[in-house]
Amino acid sequence: MSSNWKVEIIECGDLVQDDDEVTSQDEAELRWNRYVELADSVTGDEGSAGVAAIVCSLKAKEDYGAYQSAHAALSRFPGKDLGEGVVQATSDLLVIPKDNSGNILMLLVYAGTVAVNSFNEALRVADQGTRSGFRQLIEFHESGEWLSDATRRNVLMVPRV
């Protein structure tokens, strides 16, 4: 996939919300359809930058089912790319709606050992600000619904170094 795909999926991921009076219904539907088409076209060969682009695209509070295609797309990536890509998308992951970030972290946990180890390793060498932001986000989701189950808690490890 080209870098244009990455830019376009990020732009289209900013789905029109119900209270948006500026965008027409036709434009909203076109953007939704294009987003799903872009997500469905993912093969999993796009590398960690492809993962990061998908994570960055999850900006809307209400996705009207479009993000299911993004979640399915993320499941097509090798674990190594998935883990590294989530860390690459830190700045976006920390500001997207909490349900979206929780879903991403849960997908990462369920992706298995390779994805989790890749995430933990990439985070280990990340700067202190990134580690701190992830620590807060993971603690938030472990205390709430997304990662609160005993099988999902303490799987994503954020080093305190």
Per-residue pLDDT reduced to its tens digit, 130-149: 889 999 999 999 998 788 88
Whether 104 is in a domain gets the answer: yes
Asked if residues 59 and 91 have their Cβ atoms less than 8 Å apart, the reply is no
Nearest to 38 by CA among 18, 56, 20: 56
How many whole angstroms from its chain centre is CA 100?
7
- Percentage of the chain modeled with pLDDT above 90: 64
* Residue 16 confidence class, pLDDT cut points 50, 70, 90: confident
Task: Work out how many domains the chain is built from and give that number.
Answer: 1
In a domain, 57, yes or no: yes
150 occurs within a structural domain? no
**Cα–Cα distance for residue pair 43/51, rounded to 1 Å:** 11
pLDDT tens sequence across 42-76:
999 999 999 999 999 999 998 989 999 999 999 99
Mean pLDDT of 153-157: 83
Asked if residue 153 belongs to a domain, the reply is no
**Average of per-residue pLDDT across 75-94:** 95
pLDDT band at 78 (very low <50, low <70, confident <90, very high): very high
Q: Give the pLDDT confidence score for residue 25 in this predicted structure.
A: 79
80, part of any domain: yes
Domain region containing 7: 3-143
Mean model confidence pLDDT for the chain: 90
Instruction: Please answer whether residues 141 and 105 qualify as being in contact, where contact means their C-beta atoms are separated by less than 8 angstroms.
Output: yes
**Is residue 161 situated within a structural domain?**
no
Query: Would residue 154 count as lying in a domain?
Result: no
pTM of the model: 0.90
Structural domain contains residue 113: yes
